Structure 1
Amino acid sequence: MAAFEEFGVLPEIAKAIDEMGWMLPTDIQAEGIPLVLGGGDVLMAAETGSGKTAAFCLPIIQIVWETLKDIQSGKLAKAAADSSSPSWTMSVLDRGPALAVTPDGLRVQSREQKDWHGCRCTRGVKSGKWGFEATVTDEGLCRVGWSTLEASLDLGTDRNGFGFGGTGKKSNNKQFDNYGEPFGKNDVITCLLDAETGEIRFLKNGVDLGTAFRADKRLFSNGIFPAVVLKNAEMAFNFGDKPLKHSLPPSYKPINSAPAEIVVKNTNGQGGANSIPAIQKNAPQAVIIEPSRELAEQTSNQIKMFKKYLDNPPIKELLVIGGINVKEQISALQKEGAHIIVGTPGRLEDLISGGIWPLVTCIKL
């Protein structure tokens, strides 16, 4: 039991492992479990019988249970309430469905490869000269800049959004023009706003790329906000809490130093002060996709054994495979809900649709 606990596995899960007679983790379990628990994207390959199923099941069960525990204790409500605090972070409420925001609100990621998903900051300004930095922290496509609350989250595709993309294009109102030069992983983009004149410009690694836009400053009267849109990419933000990597031009200041009288709150996605999105009971926290019915059943059975001592809250799982009436499975999901869904690709297509977005996805090949 102690061997698995050394990897960060909960004592309750380790107790269930001990009852199964497992003394030591296999190689793939020793390498994979800490990585998944750490929040990383993990690709594992090993021969049959090497313990792959437990290598991903154990940490997924733990992540789901800890998330449910946070919901139960009100920690997620507090995080949403914090989005109404004076801090400058990327909003967990005003974002695309496939975009994740880290707990500190300063890094965003989307692993969607076909569609763009965007996000806006929790704060904006309506006057002054301000800047912030966005660093590309992984490969992929990204566009960063400024937008009003009325703008689409797909930055630069309407008149209220102004973006600079990694392909070396600036964009506003679906007009994409050459600007500056391309940028990619590890590059730092400084986004500058002069709300007095309507000028927006960008720096790449400290080099001024010149004026990108001359917008009608009346657009900013209700506030303009740092914004980003990603396609299978990741970016980190510095609004001034830490020293900027590159100096701002004269008369510009880090945006988080803006005085309260010109700061505007992002109210998108909020039904009122400190409100949080409704948590749908039929929305799973994890989806595990297995290539065959037999493997899906095996995984479901292991989950039942591993979660044996996890309660308050208990974890509910749902097996979605052929041979069971799909209407019955849909009914079970709608009535009872499920925290972890295990199934085969074809049958999952019938269930996973709008409103279901997993915290963790595991695909077994």
Structure 2
Amino acid sequence: MGNGDSKHKSLNEAQYFQRTRKKHLEFFSKVNGFLENTSEWIYVLKQELIQNSKYKWSKELLKMLRERENYQDLSSKSAFAWNKYNSEKNKVPKVDSNNVCKWRESIANLQTFSYEIEIDPNKKSLHRYLTSQSDCTLHTIIKMFRSSLMKIYTRKDGRKFVLKENISVNLQKYSKELDESILGFCNIMQKIIPKFFLDIPEKIQDLESIIRDSIISGDILELLILVRQELEREKHNEYLQGLQNIGFFRSKSPILGQLERDSNSNYTNAIKSVLEITQSNSIGQMHDAVAMLMNHISLSLYNPENPDAIVEDDTIISAFLFVLARSSAPNLPHYLSILTTFMDQTTLTVKDVGKGVVKLSFLLNNVTDWSTFITY
């Protein structure tokens, strides 16, 4: 009797999986490109790499493509089709933006990169496939590109990377080449991603920033810091001197008093956010830290007795300066240089976080005038 029940159960399971598989096949048969196994993305990528053949990294990627077949990555290609099949969204709590002061240039839509990725299943899937999905061809291509750059520009000295001597002696030239290579590769990825994935939404917002976060991270971010440490010594020394000078300065500014009296630790958290910029492991994390810096400053300057008051720009600049001076983050200029070079134009010029990047850059480009920016 027990055996009979087991056979009946097995038969039901088999029928269930047959029906489920049939539903999947019916669904995917309507997905554009699923049955064609198109390799258009490989053709486009090869053409782009050939156009960039003056760079050493392109040869290694071309070699890998010749050995790769499109069918090897079908699970990754169908990621967005599965998103449509499993359309339930995870609810993620939104960042609380209550009790923040109003800027002359509104930052009402300020948000972190991580939150924007988390709440959108398409962005979240793409970010995962590019940054951590080891069996995805695009992730492999990005890893190979990054590895090629490290071989070209650096060598290992113990446990740390250092610039090769031939790079150091002509750093101006190679710095420009490195930046061009990274930006060029970001553009290549932007062209092939819509051709790689099946049924990808026509317009995923923040595609460019997701691509850049997957490339400008880890060892590549470390390489960019190394280059800027050598190339921007004079500017960096000026910044360190500015920190020292303002450290001796005893300000009676009411803005500093308001920041220090904040009982909700927003001033302290703003200082931590500056330090987090220089502890970031990717350009997306740097975006997060700048957004949180802006948020904590806005919370600190909020006046509950006049909640609709607009805080003037010179007050915001003063607050940024006090936070920056208190944080004493020595490598901040290098990270800001990377942000202004590699942050995509939409994020830098349209999104609210770009206003914070602009203010930090303004302060770092005018260190000798810091004392004039303090509002009394």
Using the size of structure 2 for normalisation, the TM-score is: 0.23
Give the structure with the larger strand fraction.
1
What is the TM-score with the length of structure 1 in the denominator?
A: 0.24
Q: Which has the higher helix share?
A: 2
Larger relative contact order, structure 1 or 2 (CA cutoff 8 Å, min sep 6): 2
Question: Larger C-alpha radius of gyration, 1 or 2?
Answer: 2
